[in-house]
Structure 1
Amino acid sequence: MSLPESMLAAVLGGPGVIRTSRLPLPQVGPEDVLVHVRRASLCGTDLKIRSHRFFGDGRPASDQFVPGHEYAGVVAAVGSAVDEFQVGDRVVTEAHRGCMRCANCLAGAYTDCLNYGNRRKGHRVQGMTVNGGFAEYALNHVSTLYRLPDSVDFDSAVVLTTVGTVMHALDVLGSLIVGASVAVIGPGPIGLLGAQVARELGAEVVVLTGTRDARLEIGRKFGADLTVNSRDEDAVLAVRNATGGQGADIVLECSGAPSAVDDALRMARRSGKVVLVGFFDRPVTADLNHAVMNGISIQTVRGEGAGSVARAVSLAGRGRLRTAELVTHHFGLEDVAEAFDTYAERRGNAIKVMLDVSEDRALGEAVPHDRAPGNDVVPADTERSRVG
């Protein structure tokens, strides 16, 4: 069976509206890989994209733009210059592809690409500056895909994009986690995975703070030594008490709450390190003099980077990540509007809301080389995808 001419996709309507439509199949260039999407998940950025607040004045045309930057699937076609993958490979995507020509990209900081949003110069962010994975098929540059171990199923695979964000947050510290005390603010998906990854990488003490007991309970299962409901007790004092009064060596701020930056600074020990991971809805106020007087370093990350998703895949392949507790809801692609509402309103304590985009079935033959003028698509033998 050849690839279809069109596909079902979730597209933006007016602000706050997302619906399904049929779009032409993406055109595969020499360095591209066409992914038959199996699973995709929602995150907070997708809510901003639905509302159009993410784009500012540069928003894409409605009814054509496909969100979705967390997804996994099976290779359906490859470009003429691609020999890293073949049809049938199970893969997970990384959202960011830098221009690979600016100073930042050449230094490995492609998530901070100086040509961000400039497709003409090669920059892409799936589901943000180019069409993403809330569709039956998605087009990725070959450099943004990682082959999945047989033991990692598609639900777990999608979560690895979030694990990549955590890994990148730890990258910027420039030091090992082994033996360190780590405080994590915010038991959302990033914070919960942050606690788990810190434990797996050898942290001596992991403290997770937040306001939802059900999520804090998951944090305990994920390896947090201490969980603190900041509505019931002073989280800063609890972190200091858990670290002998000195404060944490490392603080990961994953909540995006307005007061969280100041809390993070006060949780950190002298000469400690704070990494801002969460996105903030508005400007925040923090006592930066406290940071200056105590030698506290502040770092930031924007999503995954520096090959962090590859390391997340390695960790998962060794069976060292728990993700099942994070996946709370499944919807078909045709129910994408309900999925967004469920996530936005946290119905049923929604954490990771998944779109089951397509069935796990055998792919047909790869599209012929001359499928469309100007396309370089290499046929390959078909394999049945394997789910762990």
Structure 2
Amino acid sequence: MRYSGLEFIAKGELAFCDLGTPSKLEPTEILLETKYTALTNGTERHAFLSEHGYGGGRFPSRHGYQHIGRVVSTGGEVTQFEPGDWLFYGQYVGHNGWNIINEDALLIKLPVGIDYRYCALFGVAGVALRSVRRMGVSQDDNVWVVGQGPIGHFLAQVARSAGAKITVSDMIDRRLDAAKECGAHIALKANSQKAPEIIKEGRPYDYIYDCCSVESLLSDICDNRLLSHSGTVGLIAVRDQIIYPWSLLHGTEAKIETSCHFDKDDLRVLLFLYEQGYLQIAPMVSHIVTIDEAPQIYKKLADNASDLFGVIFDWTENV
């Protein structure tokens, strides 16, 4: 077990912090030894660089919500888990070598026989799944996902599993290749000359998901009449503020929605989709590295390196 965690000590500066040894468990608590965590690319970059007011510019701070761990011990009244169980833990606590958690927290037990490393990305996949469930994507809906970072990638997969037709766009070939491998019907290079016309040919879209924060997106949707009558614009990416043309929603009787995090039932559905093969994780994983390499990864994150996609930290190395 590692007794350290990751901490943002100043804008753009990462350090390992000492967590000490775990305290005595309360009756309904479990001790979870971290085996893997995963980077939440957008959220952590915003907090790391104080973008969009994220984190309020307060340091030191800890960010992230994707842990895979093994139960070491349990309190005397714990009924849901036992030592040796592998769990996904989705609370916003940062990256820690161990966590003491109430058994009713945001946890799901993982079955034997799956690759636990990839399950570390259940957090960003859970955010995507919740947005699809909340907004009601269904069979034969026409969906455009703008941006193919981790959440946008999984959003496209989950919407496709609901029976929707999926168009995605991004500027990075690696992400578009992963989208196509995972079932996107149309994958467009956003900065290509043909992309705007192809997007218009595919209209109207029942759902347009913003997973990139492009400033002009809402105006572009309105000007090009991309949204269907009573359609939905799902604002998933972080923005400072939202300004939109009145006619975007008025004439179409459309709506803007957003979504936040995920709950236990989302994790239940997510695990089912993953076990059944409706959700793939391996194609979008770009890095599996020891947690000791975290400083290099966060430097890449700050530099907006295009090769970062799905990033998994292995806490089991060199213990």
TM-score (norm 1): 0.73
Per the alignment, in what secondary structure is the counterpart of residue 54 of structure 1? helix
Is the counterpart of residue 262 in structure 1 residue 259 in structure 2?
no
1:344 Cα deviation from its structure 2 partner: 3.0
Greater relative contact order structure (CA < 8 Å, 6+ sep): 1
Q: 1:354 aligns with which of 292, 312, 316?
A: 312
Is the counterpart of residue 140 in structure 1 residue 101 in structure 2?
yes
- Cα contact 2:49–2:302 (8 A) shared by 1: no
Matches of residues 1-388 of structure 1 in structure 2 within 5 Å?
7-27=3-23, 28-43=25-40, 44-52=42-50, 53-56=53-56, 59=58, 62=60, 65-95=61-91, 126-127=92-93, 132=94, 134-142=95-103, 143-173=105-135, 175-203=136-164, 205-233=165-193, 235=195, 237-243=197-203, 247-264=204-221, 266-280=225-239, 282-305=240-263, 307-347=265-305, 349-359=307-317
1:82 Cα deviation from its structure 2 partner: 2.0
Partner of 1:384: none
CA offsets, 1:117-153, max 9 Å, x none?
Answer: xxxxxxxxx22xxxx3x22112333231001122331
- Cα contact 2:107–2:264 (8 A) shared by 1: no
1:184 Cα deviation from its structure 2 partner: 0.7
Q: For structure 2, which runs of at least 5 residues remain unmatched after alignment? A: none
Q: 1:257 to 1:232 in 2, by over 3 A?
A: same
Q: Distance in 2 between matches of 1:77 and 1:267?
A: 54
Per the alignment, in what secondary structure is the counterpart of residue 3 of structure 2? strand
Q: Give % identity.
A: 21
Output the amino acid matched with 1:168: R
Compare CA radii of gyration and give the structure with the larger one.
Answer: 1
Per the alignment, in what secondary structure is the counterpart of residue 172 of structure 1? helix
Output the amino acid matched with 2:214: A
1:359 Cα deviation from its structure 2 partner: 4.8
Q: Distance in 2 between matches of 1:334 and 1:315?
A: 32
Output the amino acid matched with 1:8: S
- Cα contact 1:75–1:89 (8 A) shared by 2: yes
**Aligned positions, number:** 312
Q: For structure 1, which runs of at least 5 residues remain unmatched after alignment? A: 96-125, 362-388
Q: 1:13 to 1:176 in 2, by over 3 A?
A: closer
TM-score (norm 2): 0.88
Q: What is the root-mean-square deviation in Å for CA atoms of aligned residues? A: 2.5
Per the alignment, in what secondary structure is the counterpart of residue 154 of structure 1? coil
Q: 1:309 to 1:235 in 2, by over 3 A?
A: farther
Q: 1:292 to 1:26 in 2, by over 3 A?
A: farther
Per the alignment, in what secondary structure is the counterpart of residue 251 of structure 1? strand
